[in-house]
Structure 1
Amino acid sequence: MKLYLDPGHGGNDPGAQGNGLQEKNINLDIALKINNLLTSNYENVDVKMSRTSDITKSLSQRTNEANTWGADYYVSIHCNAFNGSAQGYEDYIHSSLSDSSQTARYQDILHEEITAVNQLRDRGKKKANFHVLRESNMPAFLSENGFIDNAHDASFMRDNSWRQQVAQGHVNGIARAFNLPQKNNNDPEPDVFYVILAGSFQSRDNAESRVENLQDNHIAAFVSTTTISGERWYRVQAGAFANPNNAERHLDTVQQIVPDAYIQQEQR
């Protein structure tokens, strides 16, 4: 089974914003957790992500990539926003599809598994004419994991253990929908490490200011550089771990200072 996993937004498109959080970072963190859980624990699944870092990528690039790769399923991870008062979880398939379609049956399973663990108000299963649902050649599913501009939902989004639960709910649904066999847990860990990023800036002065703030709070950090779409960015790294559990524990500490810090998987 080939899964195209799409953390919505990224780069110069932050998505929805509220309560000191940016949607692009929440989406990416949940998607990275989904990828790690699936590839670590299940056989017969190959995951391609639209992005594994904070890059800009158009909707057409995403669906074209999934179509060219021949994905069996497209899962797009998002958060919602409205007027600060709306809250809860909802998910979508394309508006042209019947309730008896294969895509709708997959939605039924994922919706059941995600709402079982996410502790959010269930706003139901919905349909829409979103680009990624319309232009993908395979069954496609889009989840809206709470309202980032709502204080109640944002308090969950800020919690790394909650994001892990949400990722697990997606994984439970995907594994059940596609009958994925579980791996022997004695299999070796993927050859990756887990980097905590506490901000990316086009100004080195801004990055250095973030580092100083973290160090004032007894968190070791430094500035590294990366090139995205031909432009130099200065990212603030606040730790790197071989064990994802250790990374997640440290992320909780970092997020007390930088709420939208997140974990990024990188090759050794």
Structure 2
Amino acid sequence: MKLYLDPGHGGSDPGAQGNGLQEKNLALDIALKIRSILENNYENIDVRMSRTSDITKSLSQRTDEANAWGADFYMSIHINAFNGSAQGYEDYIHSSLSDSSATAKYRDIIHTEVMKLNQLDDRGKKKADFHVLRETTMDAMLSENGFIDNAHDAELIKQEAWRRDVAQGHAIGIAKAFNLTPKQNDDRGTLYKVIAGSFKDRENADNRVAFLQSRGIESFVATATISGETWYRVQAGAFSSRENAETRVREIESQGIDAFIVTD
């Protein structure tokens, strides 16, 4: 299954703004997390993103790229804004589509899974004539994940754990909609973890994570005890396939950072 994942706005276009937050950064963070969850946990999923960093990209460039690639599904990630009082989650498919269309059925599944985890009011399943819904040749959906200018929603949106939950909801919904097969990481298999640095100082590890995420590489800090000492490891993926792990290592090394693979 080929998924084109589109974090809205970027570069010179910040998108919605409010409460010290910018939509472009939040949408990118959620989208990167969706990619990581899908690639690490499901078989036969190929994810391409419109952007993995803070760059400017037109709507036409995004839809042309998805169409040329032959994506099976286009998922656009956004954060809403209105008047400061509106709040909640809503999503969109194109206004020309019926509620019984394949796109609507995919959206129904994703909507349900996102709402299980996002702690937001449900503003409903909607339709619109947005460019990314109109000009794509595949099924396409756009989600609006809370209102950045609403105090309640913004308090959630600014939390990394909340954004991970939102990403998890999208990923589970996409997996269910397209019948993706979960990867089997049991005792009979080997899990290849990519490590992009080990530090005695937690702050240095956090800085490495921030750098990698700014380059579109999802990562987190995990602690490890070596010879009785605590080390903070930056993990940038865990894969059932060594080939996929080696691909991630090359991606990290292209950013001038040494990386290596460990197995449990």
TM range (shorter): 0.7 to 0.9
Q: Which residue of 1 aligns with 2:126?
A: 126
- Residues 19, 112 of structure 1: alpha-carbon distance in 2 compared, 3 angstrom cutoff: same
Which of the residues 247, 252, 255 maps onto 1:267? 252
Q: Which residue of 2 aligns with 1:245?
A: 220
Residue 90 of structure 2 aligns with an amino acid whose one-letter code is E
Question: SS where residue 116 of structure 1 aligns?
Answer: helix
Instruction: Within 5 Å, give how 1:1-268 maps onto structure 2.
Output: 1-185=1-185, 186=189, 188-189=191-192, 244-246=219-221, 267-268=252-253
Residue 50 of structure 2 aligns with an amino acid whose one-letter code is S
Structure 2: which 5+ runs fail to align?
223-231, 234-248, 254-264
Residues of 2 paired with 1:142 and 1:80: CA distance?
11
- Residues 193, 70 of structure 1: alpha-carbon distance in 2 compared, 3 angstrom cutoff: farther
Q: Which residue of 2 aligns with 1:261?
A: none
Residue 63 of structure 1 aligns with an amino acid whose one-letter code is T
- TM-score relative to the length of structure 1: 0.75
Superimposed CA distance per residue, residues 76-131 of structure 1 (whole angstroms, 9 cap, x where no aligned partner): 00000001000000000000000000000001000000001100000000000000
Identity of matched residues, % = 66
- Residues 66, 127 of structure 1: alpha-carbon distance in 2 compared, 3 angstrom cutoff: same
Contact 2:212 2:219 in 1 (8 A): no
Residues of 2 paired with 1:239 and 1:74: CA distance?
27
Contact 1:37 1:168 in 2 (8 A): yes
Question: SS where residue 14 of structure 2 aligns?
Answer: coil
Contact 2:19 2:148 in 1 (8 A): yes
Residue 19 of structure 1 aligns with an amino acid whose one-letter code is N
- Give how far 1:246 is off: 1.2
- Give how far 1:243 is off: 8.6
- TM-score relative to the length of structure 2: 0.76
Structure 1: which 5+ runs fail to align?
195-217, 224-235, 251-264
- Residues 4, 189 of structure 1: alpha-carbon distance in 2 compared, 3 angstrom cutoff: farther
Residues of 1 paired with 2:178 and 2:193: CA distance?
22
Would you say how many aligned residue pairs link Structure 1 and Structure 2? 219
